[in-house]
Structure 1
Amino acid sequence: MAGADGIQHVAVVIPAHNEEQHLEDALGAVRVAADRVRGEWPGVGVQIVLVLDRCTDSSAAVAAAVAGEDPRCLVLPLSFRSVGKSRRAGVRAALKNATESMCDGEAAAIVPMRHVWVANTDADSCVPENWLVRQLELAAGGADAVLGSVEPDGYGMHHQLLARWHARHLPTENHPHVYGANLGVRASSYVAAGGFPGVDFDEDRGLVDRLRSSGARLVATDTVRVITSGRTVGRAPRGFAAYLLALAAP
């Protein structure tokens, strides 16, 4: 059985650079979300592509352990040190696998790009259980891209910083925010728009700008909120951690 609006395959792409502290939890949450798809849309395949971008910590060992017990996980080691290039490479690998899948040693029918959904998150984030299912539901309504919301993990954060965050990010539908940690897109729309730009920051905004310019239908929702690290020293320049650091300034 095909899923929402004919979606036959979901590819989850996760870039990682030295995320040994968060990676196991991040992958665990995505696997739970993938299990939920299997339960509600048994005809929809899910693959998880983890892009290890120049990791010098134990991220590779964590990834290998997870991939060893879950065949849905593909580990892709690269050396870009660029979140934009990592996401681009991850999506490229995911789409190749989705459209050139094998079945019992024989090439399976090619899955059209329109029937492939690409869900993006980060290695320091935990998605909710209904993360993928909700994106498929929105795709059923005609969405070409889903802009989800995030919330920083309050553990270890100063209470004033957390309060400032919540004051500026009220839970609402049709919100104006863009987060690479919670962004889904139909593969055909992704390709038509030109994909993620190969930049070191704001690659998520770059993609959304391209999608808008191409005429894709975007839906912004707070119904699938992702919990992400509340650290103020991050891995990407001018990324989410840098935003929190600026927010913390008096």
Structure 2
Amino acid sequence: MIGLVIPAHDEGERIGAALRAARRAAAHPALAGEEVRLVVVLDSCVDGTADVVARHGARQLALDARNVGIARAAGAAHCLEAGARWLAFTDADTRVAPGWLAMQLAEARAGADAVCGTVGVHDWKVHGGGAARLRERFARDYMARDGHRHVHGANLGVSAAAYLRVGGFAPLACGEDVALVAALEAAGARIAWSARPRVTTSARTDARARGGFGDTLLAMAAALAVPVATIEAG
């Protein structure tokens, strides 16, 4: 069984698209019908996120931590207890490609203990008139090819054995993904730095994790003096 974990904090306006994409990836023919357990970890949600998740039929775990490391770890623990052999992680504002899980497992069959994928952005429009400049700067600076060294919780997979060997996610409010991959490398795990598992994510201006991808884009926009438009959920 494959565990697919999505942490969420007040993502009612975005998570529907994420769940639809995750369902398509879970039904990919290359998985040969293997069960995919999709778990959304509702972390301190006070909006309609739980209702949206329920409508999509995904499993829910609720906690009150306001900590993405704790949320990802809780989802992973649930999947491991259910017998998952592989853990895949993405985010509530992210849309995985139909072949996303299949590509992760192809890397695993080739010997990888973990897969670090790249991200694209699907809604540059939230950056208003400066969106084109920001998109160009991102395309110039971001390495979207095999051999990259990016780590994104929105596009990450790891074998159950390797995850357990390093103790899983640390309870960090930001950088929990980077810390996990560093621990895996220190333990001698084989990391696939692959551009094959594809996801697109939000260029949101209301970043959930300080220091995360959203903040990185905001800092890039500030350096370019790009005005930020009114927030619109994708």
TM-score w.r.t. the length of structure 2 is 0.91
Aligned residues between the structures: 219
- CA shift at 1:41, angstroms? 3.1
Q: For structure 1, which segment, 179-188 or 159-168, has the greater mean C-alpha deviation from structure 2 after superposition?
A: 159-168
Contact 2:76–2:87, Cα closer than 8 Å, also in 1: yes
- CA shift at 1:138, angstroms? 0.7
Contact 2:119–2:144, Cα closer than 8 Å, also in 1: no
Which residue of 2 is the match for residue 60 of structure 1?
A: 50
The Cα offsets for residues 156-197 of structure 1, whole Å up to 9 and x where unpaired, read as 131111111111113210101000000000010000011111
Residue type of the alignment partner of 2:11: E
Structure 2 unaligned residues grouped into runs of 5+:
224-234
Contact 1:51–1:90, Cα closer than 8 Å, also in 2: yes
Which residue of 2 is the match for residue 203 of structure 1?
A: 176
Residue type of the alignment partner of 1:12: L
Residue type of the alignment partner of 1:85: I
Contact 1:154–1:162, Cα closer than 8 Å, also in 2: no
The Cα offsets for residues 197-239 of structure 1, whole Å up to 9 and x where unpaired, read as 1110000000000000111000011112210001132111111
Does residue 1:123 correspond to 2:108, yes or no? no
Q: Structure 2 residue aligned with 1:17, among 9, 30, 35?
A: 9
Moved over 3 A (4+): none
Which residue of 2 is the match for residue 104 of structure 1?
A: none
Residue type of the alignment partner of 1:138: E
Which residue of 1 is the match for residue 81 of structure 2?
A: 96
- CA shift at 1:145, angstroms? 0.2
Q: Distance in 2 between matches of 1:212 and 1:167?
A: 27
Contact 1:91–1:118, Cα closer than 8 Å, also in 2: yes
Structure 1 unaligned residues grouped into runs of 5+:
1-8, 68-72, 100-115
Q: Secondary structure at the match of 1:248?
A: helix
Contact 1:118–1:186, Cα closer than 8 Å, also in 2: yes
- CA shift at 1:43, angstroms? 5.1
Contact 2:124–2:135, Cα closer than 8 Å, also in 1: no
Which residue of 2 is the match for residue 75 of structure 1?
A: 60
Q: Secondary structure at the match of 1:167?
A: helix
Residue type of the alignment partner of 1:211: L
- CA shift at 1:27, angstroms? 0.4
Contact 2:97–2:198, Cα closer than 8 Å, also in 1: yes
Q: Distance in 2 between matches of 1:179 and 1:217?
A: 17
- After TM superposition, the structure 1 = structure 2 runs for residues 149-228 of structure 1, keeping only pairs within 5 Å, are 149-156=118-125, 157=127, 158-228=131-201
Q: Distance in 2 between matches of 1:219 and 1:80?
A: 31
Q: Secondary structure at the match of 1:249?
A: helix
